[in-house]
Amino acid sequence: MAYCPVFPLKCAVNQYAWGRIGEESEVALLTQSNDPGFQLKKDEPYSELWMGTHPRGPSIVQPPGSQQPQPLDDWIKAHPDCLGDKVKAKFKGQLPYLFKVLSVNKALSIQAHPLKSHAEQLYSERPSEYPDPNHKPEMAIALTPFEGLCGFRPVKDIVNFFQTIPEFQAVVGQENAETLVAAYKNGNETCKEELQKCFTGLLTREEDVIKKNLETLAQKLEKQASAGEDMKANNGELVMRLNKAFPGDVGCFVSYFLNHMILQPGEAMFLGPNVIHAYLLGDCMECMACSDNVVRAGLTPKYKDVPTLCEMLSYKTSTVKETLFPCVTDQTDSNITIYNPPVPDFAVRRIKVPTATDQYTLSSVDSASILITINGEAQASAATTQQPSHGKALGLKKGSITFISANQSIQLKVTSTEGFLAFQAYCPLD
């Protein structure tokens, strides 16, 4: 190759108010471990670590030798073959994904992302609110126990909430609720039209009605909590927590419609087009198409587009178990777990080498990739089947972020006795 195919990146850290505080934040700990210039402040939030070419937080190339640092996007434009032929052709010389670490301390907005054709329409009509014409499917993989809302619950659970929580039925609207209950009792387990009416009824309800009923419900839940009653059955603990963070917000009632996900490390959820969701608490890896298109409707002070959201959602119901995204072990390497969603823009590999070893080869992928080390230490050097290694080895440790050109395997010498854990984003075109 005429250029160095493997090199470290320096990546942007965001400090949005919803981030975890100080040393509780995995974003902060990863950055502190790898960047000697980073000063962790124990009382400040650290929310996101961005890895990629997005203009709001571009990664900086730190090539070996005397070359000057430069934005990753500029480097890719100068060396487009690094993307791989298929990616270069399909995505017009652009890196198609954005890779992140998220540390969430306060709920992010109730939201969904549009289909690409819908994104193009929204961008054309309202570019100030929808800043690009791309879709934004995304995946979250838990680093610590990670909480979120994702997709609509089974109808039977929503019907049960109507029957046990009168305030919920009141804000949805009695007629809407009764229509859904009747459809379910008549054997309709999907009830998409009825579910849409209920959800739209809630999100378009007058603010004073929402606040009044939420105040009444919160008082009941506080009494139940003081009495030591089980709060899981009525979603009470979550509603109380959301109401404390966003007093009187309609998103507190939205939680009764959605699956409450608690992912364990390594578990994932995929947020495809028109799937309603919100992140609540914890640390995760996130990978997405390179876009900023978000349609919001609650738990946020940002722009809300309720009509668009209510119209676009799929209204597909599922259980928590069904909502978990399945991962698979690589058939040729049991150290690799693959998260490959049904979109062409990105996939993620988890690399978990259990102990120190002198010889581990991370196989190549047919696209440019970004590798972040979560735990452990290793020496990494570019390798091919024809040439075992070339160039100076890179020292990888917690927080190291490495760009790897297409079709480039990596030779790892894992030096930490606890092994090595990393995640790698790439583009999985056939």
Q: Is 282 left (phi over 0), alpha (psi -120 to 50) or beta?
A: left
The catalytic residue among 20, 153, 296, 350 is: 296
CA distances 327 to 141, 233, 238, 346, 349, Å, are 10, 29, 28, 14, 9
The Cα–Cα gap between 263 and 144 comes to 8
Relative orientation angle of helices 192-203 and 155-164, to the nearest 10 degrees: 50
Per-residue H/E/C for 242-263:
HHHHCCCCCHHHHCCCEEEEEE
Contact call for residues 112 and 277 (beta carbons, < 8 A): yes
Number of H helices, E strands in the chain: 13, 25
Q: Is 296 designated active site?
A: yes
At 9, which amino acid appears?
A: L
What distances in angstroms separate CA 140 from CA 7, 54, 93, 100, one per listed residue? 25, 18, 26, 9
Token match 């198609």: residue?
96
Q: How far is the C-alpha of 239 from the C-alpha of 257, rounded, in Å?
A: 12
Closest CA to 426 of 99, 141, 48, 139: 99
What distance in Å separates the CA atoms of residue 4 and residue 7, rounded to the nearest whole number?
A: 7
Q: How many CB atoms lie within 10 A of CB 407?
A: 17
Catalytically annotated residues: 296
